[in-house]
Each structure stands twice: as structure tokens, then as C-alpha cells.
Copies of this chain bind each other. A is one copy, B any other.
Amino acid sequence: MSDEVFTRDLCSWLDANLPASLCTAMPEDEIPWGGSRGRFPNPDTRRWMDAMAARGWTAPTWPRMYGGGGLDATRAAILQQELRRRGARPALFSFGLWMLGPVLLEYGSEAQKQRFLPPIVRGEARWCQGYSEPDAGSDLASLRTKAVDAGDHWRVDGRKIWTSYADEADWIFCLVRTDTGRKHGGISFLLIDMKSPGISTRPIRLISGSSPFCETFFDDVAVPKEHLVGPLNGGWEIARKLLQYERQNVAAAGFGGELKRIEARARQLFGIDAQGRIADAALRERIAHADMYEYATRLTMQRAQREVDAGQASSASSVVKYAAAHANQQHYELMIETLGYEGLGWQGAPYETESLEQTRKWLRSKGNSIEGGTSEINLNVIARRVLGLPGGA
């Protein structure tokens, strides 16, 4: 089958299977997270996920034997392009898809791949990530949640923090300590069923209000031996790969792009001048400035992506996380400024729902320079890896 034929078939399949209601902006509560507790307020969301999953196109490049689409890079790009052209919502949001899958494909045993990958592709199993601990944040490798060899199973005890959606997830992939004698060399990568006795979660409230973050507690949790991924005490290498992946992910997610809204509000709040521009010259120029910064950041992202795609090491990619956090925070500072009195509200009338939401997003954006590696740690990393400066902390 030629690429042309593939494209033609794809188009007619999309015409038949992509519901019109999913070619619109995606509200928060219709994100297709899947999982055993998946919620689909719009039944089309479910239909679309199932249809895509049936073809393996929720994971287009994964091998067909694990439920994936088995597409090469060209066809995956065609698929992307056609979906984008139609403004289709993603069929599935999933940490399993973005993070665990690539790890299993590289480090997992054949049995693990066969067992865990297909439910991810189909959106049946929802995964969360158990990395940070209260005393192991920037210094992740000092983690202490321990897995002790109990003969035919592991016994896990400890506490993870910042486990997004742990209260919704079916499974968790975890870094655990299997050797207390060595720091980086005593960490293993373990898959744990969230239904296991001894696991509990507690949601974390942020300054911006409720959040998907949880604390997750492991109290004498039994985990089958075969759920260890990669070699015993070989978890740190996997973790590093995954963290890198997370950094890019965090950088790209929720980054700017609402300047139009800010401009509209600014016109409303400050009025317009004779040329129809925002009357407040200083604010107008600050918006232009933020726009330029976002744009330059976006161009740098693209450059990094191009270099990564071309198989080169990209020094630009290390810039992206930092710059994107900064751009997003600056963005919401402008937003809150244009909200005026509306930005003082916390809940309820007379405040507009949208204003309240923007205010909370502004507060939430303060976390951008903390999550997925603080900006300070990120600068340390760039100093060492890109500039080759001597290591300190």
C-alpha cells in the first residue's frame, strides 16, 4: 500500500469515525483519561477513543503486536497532520502512553509488554507516576520508599508525593529503594496495582485550590516479583530517561497562547485609542513583549524538536523548560493585570466564572518553575551538561 492509498483510506475512515462534536475545543472535564474509572460526559468521546484504539492509532508507532498502530514515521506524521487539519481532539490522554509505554518498549520483558501495553493503547488502564517523596524532590535519588524482597513478592513501604491523579489511577509506576547501601545504584523501577491492599491516597490542596496532585502511602504493600522493570537496582537510568521526557512534556503543556484573550480584556478594562488599540500604551507594549517572548520560545522549541528529530543532541531543548515556565508565568501576570477588580475574587458571584478560573490558573502558574525539576536545578543541569562547568550541587 502506498502512502497515497494510506492517506486516502485514512481520510475516508476519519470521515466515517471522527464525531463532529470532537472537532471543538476540549473542556477540562472531557479530557479522555480513560482507565477503569474513566468518565465520558460526551459519549462521542468514548466512541472516538475506542475507534482510534481499535486501529492502534492511540499509539501510532508502537508495534501492532502490542496493540499499537505499527506506523512508520512518515505515516505517523500523515496521521497527525490529518487529525490536526480536522481540529480533532486527542483520542486518549495517558501517562501510560506518554511515559510508561516508551520505557516498557525499551526495558520491559516480553511478558510485561504483552501484559501492560495493550490496555494502555485501549485506554483501559490508567497509570500514574510515583517518583518524588517529601524528602526527595530536587534530590530525587535520595528517595526512601523501600521494596524489600519477601521471597515470592516485594514488600513496599513508604510515601510518594505529587502523584498526579493517583486517586483515579489503576496502576502506578514507581521508583523504589532496593539497596540502602548505594544512592543512585540502589533504586529499582516497579509497577504496582493501585488496588493492592495497603495503598491509600490523599489529595493535595494548592494555593490555587484543589489539584490533581496526591500523596500516596504504601503500607506493607505486596507486589509480585515479575513487576520489576529492567534490572534490580537499575532503576535510575530508566528514571533519568523518563524525567527528560517529563521535562519536555511539562514544557510543552499549557504554555501561553491566550494573548488574544488578554488583549480583549485589556480593551475592555482600559478602553481603546483613536487607532483602535489598547489605550494604555505601556500595557500594550508589555503585551507585545510577552508575545515576542512566547514566540521566540516557541521557535526555540521547534528548533530543539528539529534537532532531536534529526537525531542530534540539542542544546536548545534544555532551554525550553526554563523559558516556557517563564513565558507562562509572565503570561498569567499580564492576565491577572487585565482582570482588574475581577482578579480579586475567589469564588462565587458577582465574579465571572472565567475570571475566577483565570485567577486560579495564575496562582497555579507559580508552580511552573518548580514542577518537573525546579528552574534552579534546571540551570544547574544546563551549566554542567551544556556549558561543561564543574559540578557542585
Contact = CB atoms under 8 A, between A and B. Distances in A.
Interface residues of A, number: 3
Q: For the complex, would chain A's binding face be called helix, strand, loop or mixed by DSSP majority?
A: helix
A285 B280 CA distance: 12
A344 to B, nearest CB: 24
Nearest to A281: B281
Contacts of A281: 281-282
Interface in A277-299: 281-282, 285
Interface string A73-102: 000000000000000000000000000000
Interface of A: 281-282, 285
Nearest to A280: B281
A281 B285 CA distance: 11
Contacts of A282: 281-282, 285
List the 4 shortest-distance A-B pairs measured between CB atoms, nearest first: A281-B281, A282-B282, A282-B285, A281-B282
Nearest to A392: B392
Contacts of A285: 282
A391 to B, nearest CB: 15
A281 B277 CA distance: 15
A102 to B, nearest CB: 40
A289 to B, nearest CB: 11
A334 B266 CA distance: 28
A146 to B, nearest CB: 31
4 contacts: A281-B281, A281-B282, A282-B282, A282-B285
A350 B281 CA distance: 34
A285 B285 CA distance: 13
A378 B285 CA distance: 35
A282 B283 CA distance: 9
A285 B286 CA distance: 13
A285 B282 CA distance: 8
A306 B281 CA distance: 41
A282 B281 CA distance: 7
A285 B281 CA distance: 11
